[in-house]
C-alpha cells in the first residue's frame, strides 16, 4: 500500500457565511494521478487553495508527506515542502526563450542568491529531461511567445517539474487546446505522475474518462463520490447533481 502524500481531515472553509468546503476528508497516495471534478462552485479550486496555503480552513487540518502540518505554514513554506501548482492560464515569460524560462524556474526554486549564479550540470540535465517529457527539447531557443497555447501549457508543466515537487496540482490543463494537444497533455500528466503525485482539476469529461485512474467528485463543498471513472459515472447521485444536469455534454464542449 502506497503512503499518502497529502491527507485532508475534516476541513471546512467559510467565506462570509458560505461554506466553500464542509468537513471534507480527502487523501491521495504518493505517485498517484488523481482527477478532481464537480459542478461550478463545488469547492474544487478552494480545495487546491487549502493545500497550497492560499486559504486557511476554519477547522480541520492538512497533513503532508510524513505528517507535516500545514496549519501554521505560509504558502511559500508549503511550496518549499514540495507542493507546486499550475494555474489554468499559462504563466510564462513570452519574450524569453524556452530554455531561459526553464532556467528561471530552476533558480526560482533555490532562492534569491541562486539567480546570480550559473546553473549546474545537474540542473541543466534536469531542464533537458523535463523538456523531453513535454516534447519541447527541440524548441529550446524558440521564444515562449511563439509557442502554441498547448505548448505554453507544456512549458509551464516542465517548469514545475524542474522544481521537483512531490505534489503537482494542475488546474484545467486542456482548456482551449486542440484534440491532438489534449491527447498529448494526458500522456504528459501520466508520465509526470510516475515520479510524483499529480492532482488535476478538469471539466472535460472525455479527457477525464480517457486518462483518469481515480476520480474524486465534489458537490456543494462536500466529497460526494470517489472511484474509477466508470464507478463515478454510474453513481446515481453523481448523475443527478452533475452529469444528469447536462454536465457531461456541457463540459465536453471545451
Main-chain phi, psi angles of 83, to 5 degrees: -110, 125
pLDDT of residue 156: 94
Quick: pLDDT tens for 182-222. Answer: 999 999 999 999 989 999 999 999 999 999 999 999 999 99
Instruction: Say if residues 233 and 247 touch (Cβ distance below 8 Å).
Output: no
Answer whether residue 238 shows pLDDT above 80. yes
Provide the whole-model pTM: 0.88
| pLDDT at res. 108 | 64
Strand ordering across the sheet containing 4-15 = 18-29, 4-15, 59-64, 68-69
Residue ranges of domains in the chain: 1-82+166-254, 92-164
pLDDT band at residue 251 under the 50/70/90 scheme: very low
Burial code of 189-207, b = ≥16 C-beta within 10 A, e = fewer? beebbeebbbbbbbbbbeb
Query: CA-CA distance, 190 to 218, in Å (whole number)?
Result: 22
Residue 114 has a CB neighbour count (10 Å cut-off) of: 13
Query: Apex CA 34: angle with CA 184 and CA 169, to 5°?
Result: 75
The DSSP code sequence of 96-139 is SBHHHHHHHHHHHTT-TGGGGSPPPHHHHHHHHHHHHHTT-GGG
Secondary element (H or E) of residue 13: strand 4-15
pLDDT above 50 (res 112)? no
What topology is assigned to 1-82+166-254 in CATH? Rossmann fold (3.40.50)
Amino acid at each position: 500500500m502506497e503512503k499518502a502524500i497529502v491527507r485532508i481531515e475534516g476541513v471546512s472553509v467559510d467565506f462570509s457565511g458560505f461554506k466553500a468546503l464542509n468537513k471534507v476528508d480527502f487523501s491521495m497516495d504518493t505517485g498517484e494521478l488523481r482527477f478532481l471534478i464537480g459542478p461550478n462552485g463545488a469547492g474544487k479550486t478552494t480545495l487546491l487553495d487549502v493545500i497550497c496555503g492560499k486559504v486557511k480552513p476554519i477547522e480541520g487540518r492538512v497533513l503532508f508527506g510524513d505528517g507535516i502540518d500545514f496549519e501554521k505554514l505560509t504558502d511559500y513554506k508549503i511550496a518549499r515542502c514540495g507542493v507546486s501548482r499550475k494555474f489554468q492560464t499559462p504563466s510564462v515569460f513570452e519574450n524569453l526563450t524556452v530554455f531561459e524560462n526553464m532556467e528561471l524556474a530552476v533558480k526560482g526554486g533555490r532562492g534569491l542568491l541562486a539567480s546570480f549564479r550559473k546553473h549546474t550540470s545537474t540542473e541543466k540535465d534536469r531542464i533537458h529531461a523535463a523538456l523531453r517529457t513535454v516534447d519541447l527539447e527541440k524548441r529550446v531557443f524558440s521564444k515562449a511567445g511563439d509557442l502554441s497555447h498547448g505548448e505554453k501549457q507544456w512549458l509551464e508543466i516542465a517548469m514545475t517539474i524542474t522544481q521537483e515537487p512531490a505534489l503537482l496540482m494542475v488546474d484545467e490543463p486542456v482548456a482551449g487546446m486542440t484534440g491532438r494537444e489534449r491527447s498529448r497533455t494526458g500522456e504528459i500528466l501520466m508520465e509526470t505522475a510516475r515520479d510524483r503525485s499529480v492532482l488535476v482539476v478538469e471539466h472535460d469529461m472525455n479527457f477525464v474518462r480517457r486518462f483518469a485512474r481515480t476520480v474524486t467528485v465534489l458537490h456543494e463543498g462536500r466529497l460526494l463520490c470517489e472511484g474509477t471513472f466508470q464507478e463515478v459515472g454510474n453513481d446515481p447521485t453523481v448523475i443527478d447533481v452533475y452529469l444528469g444536469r447536462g454536465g457531461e455534454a456541457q463540459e465536453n464542449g471545451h
